Amino acid sequence: MDWKLFGTTFLAVFIAEMGDKTQLATLSFASSGSSRWIVFAASALALVSTSAIAVIAGEAVARAVPPVWIKRGAGALFLVIGAWTLLRAKAS
């Protein structure tokens, strides 16, 4: 098992998910629902499902596009989204 890849992936997803709208929605459901375990199971299944879709899509894209270009494209997209978010916040 590639522990470095496992740790990097876990840490990146864990940090990215902290405080995002998905976590806040889950918090809301847990605070108003009668069963926190059902909320936990449903939210965990949803995250696993979306991650599975991302892995399958990533594998398919990697067959057609070299991984270095995928990383560059993802990096550029993050920069564009970050700049757009900052510009929108400044305009408000």
pLDDT tens for 16-75 read 888 788 888 899 999 987 889 999 999 999 999 999 999 999 899 999 999 899 989 989
Q: Which residues contact 16 (CB under 8 A, 6 or more apart)?
A: none
Entry pTM: 0.67
HEC states along 13-43? HHHHHCCCHHHHHHHHHHHHCCCHHHHHHHH
Q: Which residues contact 17 (CB under 8 A, 6 or more apart)?
A: 23, 47
Q: What residue type is assigned to position 16 of the chain? A: A
